[in-house]
């Protein structure tokens, strides 16, 4: 992360080196104070989604590090991760696997429980969603405290897939979610606040 600019809220934002177009996305991420509860500032991606050029830029940038890796599936985290995940799967000519909140899938599932900043959570996937050894990328919209992304990693590994890495649109750096991701596989971020 070397290129910097200001987001809609005026906060400093960084984009990956070589991706100056990412700074075009920063003004399209707006802060919603006190949502979903007092003291929390929500990063709202809906203005980015409403701008066709910005959305295309974000998908191209999310796909960039994985284009030469022969990705078999994109696993996306419910719910906003689905928006980016389906488009990313299409860009990579890969399958799409939803990682859903507990109790939302009809078939036999595997799940992982985890802690959220607002309580407890559970991610599930169909037990047969991924073939053993398939090459997978996880995608979500925002990396905050890292609990959801870490749970997604555990779930993908439990399903027997080969995790190539993860991609997120926005990382909120001061919440230190990257530390919960751990090492060993890349974490690709478009904008870091």
Q: How far apart are CA 4 and CA 138, in angstroms?
A: 25
Q: For 90-131, write each residue's pLDDT tens digit.
A: 999 999 999 999 999 999 999 999 987 667 899 999 999 999
User: What pLDDT sits at residue 8?
Assistant: 45
157 as an active site residue: the answer is no
H helix or E strand, kind and range, residue 80:
helix 80-91
pTM of the model as a whole: 0.90
Per mean pLDDT, which range of 3-7, 12-16, 41-45, 138-142 is the poorest? 3-7
Active site residue: 3, 24, 117, 158, which one?
117
Q: What percent of the chain stands above pLDDT 70? A: 89
Structure tokens at 180: 């919960």
Domains of the chain: 3-192 (3.40.50.2020)
Q: For 14-35, write each residue's pLDDT tens digit.
A: 666 555 577 789 999 999 999 9
Collapsed DSSP state (helix, strand, coil) of residue 54? helix
> Cβ–Cβ contacts within 10 Å for residue 131, how many?
12
In whole numbers, what is the pLDDT of the chain averaged over residues?
A: 90
Q: How far apart are CA 192 and CA 83, in angstroms?
A: 20
Active site residue: 24, 30, 69, 80, which one?
80
The residue count of the chain comes to 193
Q: How far apart are CA 51 and CA 58, in angstroms?
A: 11
Q: What is the DSSP letter of 29?
A: S
178 as an active site residue: the answer is no
């Amino acid at each position: 992360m070397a290129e910097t600019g200001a987001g809609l809220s005026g906060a400093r934002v960084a984009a990956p080196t070589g991706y100056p177009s990412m700074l075009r996305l920063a003004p399209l991420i707006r802060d919603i104070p006190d949502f979903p509860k007092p003291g929390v500032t929500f990063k709202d991606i809906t203005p980015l989604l409403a701008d066709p050029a910005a959305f295309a830029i974000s998908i191209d940038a999310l796909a960039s590090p994985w284009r030469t890796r022969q990705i078999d599936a994109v696993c996306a985290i419910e719910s906003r991760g689905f928006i980016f995940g389906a488009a990313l799967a299409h860009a990579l000519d890969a399958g799409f696997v939803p990682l859903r909140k507990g109790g939302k899938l009809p078939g036999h599932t595997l799940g992982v429980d985890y802690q959220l900043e607002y309580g407890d959570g559970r991610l599930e996937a169909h037990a047969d969603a991924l073939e053993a050894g398939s090459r997978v990328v996880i995608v979500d919209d925002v990396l905050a405290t890292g609990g959801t992304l870490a749970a997604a990693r555990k779930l993908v590994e439990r399903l027997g897939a080969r995790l190539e890495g993860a991609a997120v649109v926005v990382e909120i750096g001061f919440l230190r979610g990257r530390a919960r991701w751990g090492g060993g596989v890349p974490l690709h971020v478009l904008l870091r606040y």
